[in-house]
Amino acid sequence: MLDSPVTSAEQADVVVVGARCAGSATAVTLARAGHRVVVLDAAPLPSDTLSTHLLWPAGLAELQRLGVLAEVEELGAPRLTQAYAEGAGYGIESPFPTVDGIDYAMCVRRTGLDGVLVRAAIAAGADVRPRCRVTSVVWAQNRCAGVRYTDQSGAVVEITAALVVGADGRNSTVARSVGADQPFLTTPSGRDCYYAYWRDNTGNPRHTAAQWRHGADLGTAFPCDDGLILSLVQPPAEPGRSGPAEAERRYAEAVERIPALAARLHGCERVGRVRAATGIASYFRRSAGPGWALPGDAGHFKDPVTAQGIRDALHYGRLLAEAVTEVIDDPRALDRTLLEWEHRRTIECRDIFHWTNRLARGEAMRPLEIELYRSAIADPELARITTGIFSRTRKPAELCAPPRAARLVLGALHHQRANALAVLLDLAREIREGTRNWFTNRTALRGNMPHSTTPAKPPRQPTPSPPVLEGPATRGRRGH
């Protein structure tokens, strides 16, 4: 289908498509550096979006770097100073690691969080335009050179720019327009995701971010703003089943299967409907090319089980802006910088990508996982490492260091001797998966894919059916 005739044309240094976490972080940083930045978003702003919205200390540190943490705290979400994880009957508490002086987490609903970020972008000088839907990108000499969009009145506007930033989520129009919507690495999740808000009882402590695993189910309770709790469940995936009634059923059944979560919510009043994300897959897409880049979920997405999306969107949106600010007017230097930024994100995110995929398997805890929980009660360092992995201050490899891994295997064989064969099979699986991840890191995720040397205008390609998302209509964005 041909685009409608253009009714007006403009110029900018940068066009950012998407005004939420990745887009706002990019826009704030570039606008403060003096660039003319236009931000386009199809949704009204601020507005809700499908998101689990837990911010680990590293995510809050990104808000602090943008200068908006104080305003976010004024939204009223409590500081979460303890992490609690329970599995196979073992419960472990640990403090959060400190990142840039921040030693707590927060769970902030997206309407408030995104409103703060949009106001920061406007205050920095960015031209933020809600209810403007981008329909295509503009090409000039095999470079992405701008976008066309339809504004609130239905007029078609063309903006030319040195850089187009696609921060428009998993179903990214920019990714599709530049031919980057097909992931070069994808791992389907073994879990579906459902969440709802509950009005908390006044007597409940509101300083703990809690997670429980019971059988194959995983559930959480995160106190958030307005006296609410965000409670999320991730039962094993059931492909082909969707709809509001199905979401209500699966959510209620999963809560009941997790006794500790049901107890935490006892006496609390549910507020609003159940939101759902099914058919989830974690992925890496090609994220940089001549005149374009894809921060946030548009270029890289991880299952919500580890709640990494908001931090990564803020972090790599900011780093993208900082990297390109001095080379906007030099196409060759800009393209080289974009590829370096993409390389950095790939290298830095691949370990947490593998870690997330482990937790998203959608199966009951295995013998070595059970031993990890049991051992962490007597060895607080294990709990600190695990919490640090989620906060991106520690590496998953620290749990797999040979002496620690050997102790876990021997402990599992001792405490689960009636299940010794299962322990050995679990060990064999860990070795096999570790080897596969090592190979993936040195092939698909080595960070210097062949496309880096052949920038060219790609043909438009048909888009596969997106995951089923049952929540506010937001073009499939999530910042988990």
pLDDT score recorded for residue 469: 35
Dihedral pair phi/psi, residue 338, rounded to 5° = -60, -40
CATH of 8-53+110-188+281-357+450-470, one of 3.60.110.10, 3.60.15.10, 3.50.50.60, 3.30.565.10: 3.50.50.60
In eight-state DSSP terms, residue 112 is H
Give the position of tokens 């999963």.
254
**Cis-peptide, bond into residue 402, ω within 30° of zero:** no
Distance (Å, rounded) from C-alpha 30 to C-alpha 259? 48
Task: Please name which of 350, 303, 309 lies closest in space to residue 449, comparing C-alpha atoms.
Answer: 350
| Other CB atoms within 10 A of residue 397 CB | 11
The tens digit of pLDDT for each residue in 379-424 reads: 999 999 999 999 999 999 999 889 999 999 999 999 999 999 999 9
pLDDT at 2: 52
The tokens for 415 are 């405490």
Cα distances (Å, whole numbers) of residue 83 to 56, 68, 213, 220, 278: 10, 24, 14, 11, 26
CA dihedral of residues 8, 11, 12, 16 (deg, nearest 10):
40
**How far is 222 from 13, CA to CA, in rounded Å?**
40
| Per-domain residue ranges of the chain | 8-53+110-188+281-357+450-470, 193-277, 364-441
- CATH entry, 193-277, from 3.30.9.100, 1.10.10.10, 3.30.2320.50, 3.10.129.10: 3.30.9.100
The Cα 262–Cα 254 span in angstroms is 9
Task: Give per-residue pLDDT as tens, 247-266.
Answer: 999 999 999 999 999 999 99
89: left (phi over 0), alpha (psi -120 to 50) or beta: left
**What stretches in the chain show pLDDT beneath 70?**
1-3, 448-480
Summarised one tens digit per residue, pLDDT across range 158-199 is 999 999 999 999 999 999 999 999 999 999 999 999 999 999
Do domains 8-53+110-188+281-357+450-470 and 193-277 share one topology? The answer is: no
pLDDT of residue 470: 37
Distance between CA atoms of residues 39 and 132, nearest Å: 9
Q: How is residue 372 written in tokens?
A: 């990890």
Q: If DSSP codes are grouped into helix, strand and coil, which group holds residue 113?
A: helix
Q: How high is the pLDDT of residue 454? A: 41
Tokens encoding 183: 């992931």
Closest listed residue to residue 433, CA positions, set 423, 444, 425: 425
Residue 7: predicted pLDDT: 81
C-alpha to C-alpha distance for 376 and 296, rounded to whole angstroms: 33
